[in-house]
Structure 1
Amino acid sequence: MGEPTEKKPAGAEHADRATHDGSGPGTEHTPRTPAGATRVAQSPAAAVRSRVREQRRTPRRPHLLFELALIGISYWLYSLVRNAVPEQAAIAQKHATWVWDLEHALGIAVERSINHGVNSVTWLIVGMNYYYATLHFIVTIGVLVWLYRSHPGRYAASRTVLFVTTGIALVGFYCFPLAPPRLMTGGGFVDTVTLHQTWGSLASGAGAHVSNQYAAMPSMHIGWSTWCGLTIFFLARRTWVRLLGLAYPVVTLSVIVSTANHFWLDAVGGLICLAVGFLAARLIYHTWAFRLPRTPGERVEPELTVPTQWDTRVDA
Structure 2
Amino acid sequence: MGEPTEIQRGDAARADAAHDGGSEAARASTARQPEGATRAAQSRTAALRNRVRDQRRSPARPRIWFELALIGISYWLYSIVRNAVPEQEAVAQRNARWIWDLEHHLGIAVEHSINHAVDSVGWLITGMNYYYATLHFIITIGVLVWLYRSHPGRYVAARTVLFVTTGIALVGFYFFPLAPPRLMTGGGFIDTVQAHHTWGSFASGPAAHVSNLYAAMPSMHIGWSMWCGLAIFFLARRTWVRVLGLMYPLATLTVIISTANHFWMDAVGGEICLTVGFLTARWLYHEWVYKLPQVPARETTDRPVTVPEQWSEPTVSSARR
Alignment TM-score, normalising by the size of structure 2:
0.79
Shift in Å, 1:43: 6.4
Q: What residue ranges of structure 1 are gaps of 5+ in the alignment? A: 1-41, 301-316
- Give 2:207's aligned amino acid: G
Give the Cα–Cα distance (whole angstroms) in 1 for the partners of residues 65 and 46 of structure 2.
Answer: 34
Can you list the C-alpha shifts for 1:58-81, whole angstroms capped at 9, x where unaligned?
111221000000000000000000
Letter paired with 2:192: T
Match of 1:86 in 2: 86
1:287 equivalenced with 2:287 (yes/no): yes
Q: Contact conserved, 1:58 with 1:299, CA < 8 A, in 2?
A: no
Q: Residue 102 of structure 1: SS of its match in structure 2?
A: helix
TM-fit CA distance, 1:207? 1.3
From the CA coordinates, give the structure whose radius of gyration is larger. Answer: 2
CA contact (8 A) 1:293 1:299 kept: no
Runs ≥4 residues deviating over 6 A: none
Q: 1:48 deviation in Å? A: 3.6
Tell me what 1:65 maps to.
65
Confirm or deny that 1:206 pairs with 2:206. yes
Amino acid aligned to 2:240: W
Q: Alpha-carbon deviation of 1:92? A: 0.3
Q: In structure 2, how many angstroms separate the alpha carbons of the residues matched to 1:160 and 1:282?
A: 10
2:126 paired residue number: 126
How far does the alpha carbon of each residue in 1:197-248 deviate from its partner, in whole angstroms, 9 at most, with x for none?
0010111111111100000000000000000000000000000000000000
2:82 is equivalent to residue 76 of structure 1:
no
Distance 2:298 2:117 in 1: 52
In structure 1, the residue matched to 2:28 is: none
How big is the shift at 1:296?
1.1
Give the equivalent residue in structure 1 for 2:217. Answer: 217
1:251 equivalent in alignment to 2:264 = no
Matched letter for residue 114 of structure 1: I
Q: Provide the residue aligned with 2:261 in structure 1.
A: 261
Superposition pairs of residues 1-316 of structure 1, within 5 angstroms: 45-297=45-297
Contact kept? 2:148, 2:155, Cα under 8 Å: yes
SS in 1 for 2:200: coil
Query: What letter matches 1:241 in structure 2?
Result: V
Offset at residue 50 of structure 1 (A): 2.8
- Quick one: distance in 1 between partners of 2:68 and 2:44? 37
More helix by share: 2
2:170 and 2:120 mapped to 1: Cα distance?
34
In structure 2, distance between residues paired with 1:262 and 1:298: 44
Give the drift of 1:258: 0.2
Cα distance, 1:285–1:299 mapped onto 2, change above 3 Å: farther
Instruction: Please tell me whether the aligned partners of residues 182 and 261 of structure 2 are also in contact (alpha carbons under 8 angstroms).
Output: yes
The answer to whether the 8 Å contact 2:60/2:298 transfers is no
CA distance in 1 between counterparts of 2:147 and 2:61 reads 11
Quote the Cα distance in structure 1 between the aligned partners of 2:246 and 2:219: 18
CA contact (8 A) 2:177 2:217 kept: yes
- CA distance in 2 between counterparts of 1:206 and 1:43 reads 62
CA distance in 2 between counterparts of 1:74 and 1:296 reads 25
TM-score normalised by length of structure 1? 0.80
- Give aligned-pair identity as a percent: 77
RMSD: 1.6
**Deviation digits for residues 98-133 of structure 1 (CA, Å, limit 9, x no counterpart):** 000000000000000000000000000000000000
Specify the code of the residue in structure 1 equivalent to 2:54: E
3-state DSSP of counterpart to 2:283? helix
Q: Residue deviations 1:29-66, cap 9 Å, x none? A: xxxxxxxxxxxxx9665544332111111111221000
Q: Deviations over 1:169-197 (max 9, x none)?
A: 00000000000000000000000000000
Report the secondary structure of 2:297's partner residue.
coil
Count of residues in Structure 1 that have an aligned counterpart in Structure 2? 260
Distance 1:164 1:86 in 2: 22
Letter in 2 for 1:239: T
State whether residues 233 and 246 of structure 1, in contact with CA within 8 Å, keep that contact through their aligned partners in structure 2. Answer: yes
Q: Where in structure 2 are there 5+ consecutive unaligned residues?
A: 1-41, 301-321
Alpha-carbon contact 2:281-2:288 (below 8 Å) kept:
yes
